[in-house]
A = this chain, B = another copy of it.
Amino acid sequence: MAEPDQTEILPERAIEDDVYALRDETIREIRAAVETDDRDALVAAMEPLHPADIADLLEQMEPGPRDRLIALYGSEFDGEILSELDESIRESVIAALSPEVLTDAVRSLESDDVVDLLEDLDEAQQDAILEVLERPDRVAVERALSFPEGSAGRLMQREVVTAPEHWNVGEAIDFMRARLDLPEQFYHIVLVDPRHRPVGHVTLGKVMSSDRVTRLADLQEDSFRTIPASQDEEDVAYAFNQYHLISAPVVDEDGRLVGVITIDDAMIVLSDENEEDLLLLAGVGDESIADRTSQIVRQRFPWLLANLGTAILASLVIAQFEATLQAIVALAVLMPIVASMGGNAGTQSMTVAVRALATRDLTGANAIRVIRREVMAGLLNGVAFAVIMGIVGYIWFGTPMLGVVLGLAMIINLVVAGLAGVLVPLVMERCGVDPALASGTFVTTVTDVVGFFAFLGLAGVMLL
């Protein structure tokens, strides 16, 4: 149903400008069709949508209307929609599908998409889906699931077009014309030795533009790289992005070809990893906009609890200076400024460091230099803000020494912020912990504690 009163505060303009996103108009038509149980109107309205758009639509709907839409849409439901759905609502969408529709949907998917679909389901749903698969597909899916989660082996597709290294262009073309089960999308022919180990690859463009007698080995690409099946998918995505790979063969421990990863899979991983870092830095776990209230409350509670712990730590520091605060109440007014500036500066340094670690731009080769630079930057900005705040503090409260204390505390806290902002992520990376995970909490704990301690401590010494 259209909810006319809500449009006023929404980013209507931005959405209308957008070429790709679901249009509000389409969404209204679809909601109206569901409301009136009009199957023909629903199918007509959904017809122009890509499965990825339909998945977005389902994610944006409330559970009730969503289930009604799925029931009404019936057998039109395409398997690809399941692949595109966010994990957070996959289980409930699958539960809403009739057994026949689910069977058809799952059978229409490629085996690597089925793997991706299964990964996040509970065991009962996994078994239900495995059961409806035809035998060869089931075997392929089960084999893929034998690789560790998040590994290249899970990410790859098993169908690869290969040719013996001694073949020429004509042989390759004739072979491909004769094959009926070529993969949907492929960009390279992988050259293999007699033991089925990849030794190079040629692009289809080169094959197509060369004479039939040209040897494939003479057309090999320089960019050829193989990927171990056990490699972390994050490293795979990094390699694709860093070296501009289009596809790369995956090999087992003996170097034998087991599958291929293409850039579109790597792009999805890259995008997911970036999202994960962004959310982790903000103290949000694996959260989605489609999550229910109870889910996000449970997700965020532990992060807030950790923050409460550090906030109490900061309060314990303040509590040491109760007598000072009692004597000069202006300190209570000004102290959040020092902590806030330190927290901000620390977050700046930390975010740059976390990102640089993720892109491998911060390494042993430049860590010392980066630390030195952050400390210097903290010192310089610290001095600048010390001057500003010294003046503000003096004008506000008329006590020159208060300005000096505020300025000194600012310098100390911004230097510490720069140092902690780089060191915390570096140490976490070294300990094998994702530096995006809890760096933020540690860094602001340091800047809060140091900020309050420096300001109130100096005030106690210099003003009392």
Binding site for B on A (CB under 8 A): 3, 6-7, 9-15, 18-22, 24, 27, 50, 52-53, 56-57, 59-62, 86, 161, 173, 176-177, 179, 182-183, 185-187, 203-205, 207-211, 228, 231, 235, 238-244, 246, 263-264, 266-268, 270-271, 274-275, 277-279, 281-284, 287-290, 292-293, 296-297, 300-301, 303-304, 307-308, 310-312, 314-315, 318-319, 322, 325-326, 329-330, 332-337, 339-341, 344-345, 347-348, 350-353, 355-357, 359-370, 373-374, 376-377, 380-381, 384-385, 388-389, 392, 423, 426-427, 429-430, 432, 444, 448, 452
Assembly CA distance A8 to B318 (angstroms): 35
What chain B residues lie within 8 Å of A301 (beta carbons)?
A: 381, 384
Contacts of A177 in B (CB 8 A): 208-211
14 A-B pairs whose Cβ atoms sit less than 8 Å apart in the complex = A11-B357, A11-B367, A13-B430, A59-B361, A185-B203, A186-B205, A275-B355, A278-B355, A296-B374, A300-B345, A303-B348, A307-B340, A336-B448, A340-B444
- Distance in angstroms from A68 CB to nearest chain B CB is 16
Number of chain copies forming the complex: 2
Cα A205 to Cα B312 in complex, Å, equals 63
A18 cross-chain contacts in B, Cβ below 8 A: 235, 360
Describe A's contact surface by its main secondary structure: helix
Interface contact B289-A264, CB-CB below 8 Å: no
Which residue of chain B lies nearest to A277 when distances are taken between CB atoms in the complex?
A: B278
Cβ–Cβ < 8 Å partners of A384 in chain B: 301
Q: How far, in whole Å, are A290 and B370 apart by their CA atoms in the complex?
A: 8
User: Quick one: given A18-B360, A303-B344, are A293 and B377 in contact (CB under 8 Å)?
Assistant: yes
Establish whether residues B329 and A385, one from each chain, have CB atoms under 8 Å apart when the complex forms.
no
Whether B312 and A392, one on each chain, are in contact in the complex, defined by CB atoms closer than 8 angstroms, is: yes
Chain B residues lying within 8 Å of A211, measured Cβ to Cβ, are 177
Residues of chain B contacted by A161 (CB below 8 angstroms) = 205
Closest-by-CB residue of B relative to A340 is B311
A364 to B12, CA, bound (A): 7
In chain B, what residue has the closest Cβ to A206?
B182
Which residues of chain B are within 8 angstroms of A270 by Cβ–Cβ distance? 267, 270-271
Residues of B close to A335: CB separation below 8 A: 332, 336
Given A12-B364, A52-B244, 17 extra CB contacts under 8 A: A9-B367, A11-B364, A12-B430, A14-B429, A19-B228, A86-B361, A177-B211, A185-B203, A204-B208, A282-B350, A289-B352, A303-B348, A308-B337, A311-B337, A314-B336, A315-B334, A335-B336
Q: Do residues A347 and B282 form an inter-chain contact, with CB atoms below 8 A? A: yes
- Pair A11/B318 contact, Cβ less than 8 Å: no
Cα–Cα distance between A332 and B279 once the two chains are bound (Å): 32
Q: Give the docked Cα–Cα distance between A179 and B238 (Å).
A: 35
Instruction: Assess whether A430 is in contact with B14, with CB atoms less than 8 Å apart.
Output: yes
Neighbour of A7 across the interface among B3, B15, B296, B364, CB < 8 A: B364
**A314, B340: Cβ atoms under 8 Å?**
yes
